Structure 1
Amino acid sequence: MRQRGRRDRLPDGRDSSNRWMITYADLITLLLIFFVILYAMSSLDQEKYSGVISSLQRSFQTGNGVLGGGNGLLDGGKGEKNEGSLENRDGQSGADSQSAVIPSATPDGGSGQAAASPSPRELAFRQQEAKLAELMNVITEYVQTNHLGGQIFVADKPQGIAITLSDRFLFDVGKADLKPAAYPALHQLSGLFRGIGAMVSIEGHTDNRPVLPSSRYVDNWELSGARALSVLRFFLEKEGLKPSQFQYAGYADTRPAADNATESGRQKNRRVEIIVLRQLQEE
C-alpha cells in the first residue's frame, strides 16, 4: 500500500510528476519553429512593397479609368456604384450607360475631347496622297482613251504610283533615243508632275540578252541608264520641270518583271518605269 504524499519515481530516478514539462517544452519548441517558418515565408522587401502600394494608390486616385471619364476607385468611395460599371443604380446595362463614360462623338467624327491638330508635314502627306490618287485616275483614263493599254501600265505600289512604259513605245531596238510618237504621252505626264510635290524616279530596265556588237553601248547597264536619262532630259529640257524633283537609274536585267526564258517575258522586262514616290520633297 502506497503512503500518502509519496511521489513515484521513474526507473532512472527522475520524478514522474515532472513529465508534463517535457511535453510542454517540445510543444513550445515546435511552435517556435512554426512561427519562424511563417515569418520567413511572409518576409517582404519593404521598399518594393511600399513602391507597389504607392503606385496602385496613384493609379486609383488619378480618376482616369480605362474607358476615360470615370472617377477613380478611391475618389468618391461613398458606397455608390461607379458610372462605368456593368449595371448602374437605375438598373440600366453598361451598354446603355456608356454615354457617361465614353466622350460623345462630334459632328466631324472625332471624340468630344479636342483632337490634336495634324502637323504641317502630316497635312502635306495627306494632300500628296490625294494628288497621287488623282494622278492614277487621270493616267488610267488617258491610257484607255488613247488605246495605249499594251504600251503603258499604271499600278499603285507601296513605294508610289508606278507608270511602266514599254521600250517599243519609247525606243527603237538597242537604242536610247526617244521616238517622236512618245512625246504626247510624256508631255501629258509632265503636266501632271508639275504640281505633284513629290520625287519622281525614272528607272531603266532591259532583258538578259547582251547588247548587239554594233551597239554604241557597252552593256545593258549602260543601255538601261541611257534610256532612263533620255526620258529625264525630255522632262527637264522640253517641259522645263525642276531637276530637284527627279532621280534616275539603270538596273539592266537585275530587276525582271517577267521570265526571261520567253520572248513575251523579255518584252515585259524591256521597259522604263516612272515612279511617283510616296515621299515629300525636301525644300
Structure 2
Amino acid sequence: MRSRNRQRRQNKPDTRDRWMITYADLITLLLIFFVIMFAMSRLDIEKYETITQSLQLTFKSGDSLLEKGNGILGTADPYTQVNPPATSGKDDEGDKSSDVKADTPAPMTERELAFREQEEELLNLMNMIQQYIKDNKLEDQIHVSDLPKGISITLSDRFLFDVGRADLKEDSAKTLAKLASLFRTLDTIVSIEGHTDSVPVGEASKFKDNWELSGARALSVLRYFIDQEDLDPAGFQYAGYADTRPTGDNDTADGRQKNRRVEITVLRQLQQ
C-alpha cells in the first residue's frame, strides 16, 4: 500500500512552477505590445502613402480600409469617412513652394552683415600687408598672422628701436605710414602691445624696468599713428607686458630677440 502511494506521488506532475508559464506569456505579450507601439510611433508617412496607393492600383476598386474607406469589396461601413481625393497639381506646387521656403535661410541681421563685411576687410588687410612685406623684403623684421582675436602684425624691436630705447627709428616711418593708411578705413579697435626679453634694463637707461620700456615703446607707435598720421585716438589701445608673454626662449639669443617686439593687432570686434 505504501509502495502504491509512493508511486502515485512520483507520477503526480509538479505544479509548483506552473505560474512561471503564465508569467512568461504575459511578459511576451507586453514585449509585443511595446514593439507594436514603438513601430506605430515611427510610422513613415511617405512609405505608408506609397503602400496604400499601390494596393488601390492593384485591386482597381474601393478605397483604403486603413483610412476608413469602403474597402476593396465596398462592404465596409458606409458611414465612415472616405479617403480624400488625390492631391491636385496646385497642392503639389504649394507643397514644393513651402519646401523651398523652409530651405531658404533666414535673412541676416545688420550686425551679422557688419561682421561678414569686417571679415572681408581683415582678409584684404592681411593680403595687402603680406604683399608689402614680400615686396620690401621685410620677412625677417615683420610677421603677420591670422589669430582668433584678429590680424596680428609683429614688428621686431631692431626694425623700430635702438637697444634699450623707445624712440622710433627713421627707417620705420615708411612701414608705419603704410599701416596707418590701411587702418584709416577700418571700423574696429587696433591694439598695440610692447614686449621685452627677461634681461633687466641697464643702469644708464632712463626706464626703471622692462615694464616701463615695453609700455613706452607701444606708446611711441601709438603716438606716430595719432600725431603723425592723424588717426582717430578712439580706435586704438596700448599696453606694455615686459617679459611676461614670451614667444621664444629667454635662455638663448634668438629667443630673446623674438621676445623683443611690438605687436599690432586689428581686433575682431565692431565699434558700438
The reply to whether TM is greater than 0.5 is yes
Alignment partners' CA distance in 1, 2:29 and 2:207 = 83
Match of 2:139 in 1: 149
Match of 1:165 in 2: 155
Match of 1:280 in 2: 269
- Alpha-carbon offset, residue 114 of structure 1: 2.0
- Structure 1 pair 120–212 and aligned structure 2 pair: CA distance change class (3 A): same
* Partner amino acid, structure 2, of 1:249: A
Structure 1 residues 200-257: Cα deviation after superposition (integer angstroms, max 9, x where no partner): 2211111110011122222111211121122122222332333332222212112222
Alignment partners' CA distance in 1, 2:201 and 2:105 = 60
Alignment partners' CA distance in 1, 2:3 and 2:261 = 115
- Alpha-carbon offset, residue 11 of structure 1: 4.9
State TM-score, norm by structure 2.
Answer: 0.68
* Partner amino acid, structure 1, of 2:244: T
Please say which of residues 115-124 and 205-214 is displaced more in the overlay: 115-124
List runs of 5+ in structure 1 lacking aligned partners: 1-9, 64-70, 82-109
Alignment partners' CA distance in 2, 1:186 and 1:153 = 14
Match of 1:120 in 2: 110
Alignment partners' CA distance in 2, 1:111 and 1:146 = 52
* Partner amino acid, structure 2, of 1:156: D
* Partner amino acid, structure 2, of 1:60: L
Contact 1:245 1:281 survives alignment (8 Å): no
- Structure 1 pair 211–22 and aligned structure 2 pair: CA distance change class (3 A): same
3-state SS, counterpart of residue 74 of structure 1 = helix
- Alpha-carbon offset, residue 135 of structure 1: 1.0
Structure 1 residue 131 and structure 2 residue 114: aligned? no
Alignment partners' CA distance in 1, 2:149 and 2:160 = 24
- Structure 1 pair 145–22 and aligned structure 2 pair: CA distance change class (3 A): closer
3-state SS, counterpart of residue 224 of structure 1 = helix
Match of 1:53 in 2: 37
- Alpha-carbon offset, residue 158 of structure 1: 3.5
* Partner amino acid, structure 2, of 1:178: L
- Quick one: which of 202, 205, 229 aligns to 1:239? 229
Contact 1:235 1:241 survives alignment (8 Å): yes
Contact 2:187 2:271 survives alignment (8 Å): no
Alignment partners' CA distance in 1, 2:185 and 2:19 = 86
Match of 1:106 in 2: none
Backbone CA RMSD of aligned residues: 3.6
Structure 1 residue 37 and structure 2 residue 37: aligned? no
Contact 2:168 2:220 survives alignment (8 Å): yes
List runs of 5+ in structure 2 lacking aligned partners: 56-99
Structure 1 residues 124-170: Cα deviation after superposition (integer angstroms, max 9, x where no partner): 23222221221122112222333333322222333322211111221
Alignment partners' CA distance in 1, 2:41 and 2:231 = 60
Match of 1:78 in 2: 52
Structure 1 residues 58-78: Cα deviation after superposition (integer angstroms, max 9, x where no partner): 5435x4xxxxxxx2x434432
- Alpha-carbon offset, residue 272 of structure 1: 0.3
- Structure 1 pair 255–13 and aligned structure 2 pair: CA distance change class (3 A): closer
- Quick one: which of 177, 183, 195 aligns to 2:173? 183
Matches within 5 A, 1:200-219: 200-219=190-209
Contact 2:188 2:271 survives alignment (8 Å): no
Contact 1:176 1:230 survives alignment (8 Å): yes
Q: % of aligned pairs identical?
A: 46
Match of 2:213 in 1: 223
Contact 2:184 2:231 survives alignment (8 Å): yes
State TM-score, norm by structure 1.
Answer: 0.66
Contact 1:202 1:228 survives alignment (8 Å): yes
- Structure 1 pair 234–77 and aligned structure 2 pair: CA distance change class (3 A): same
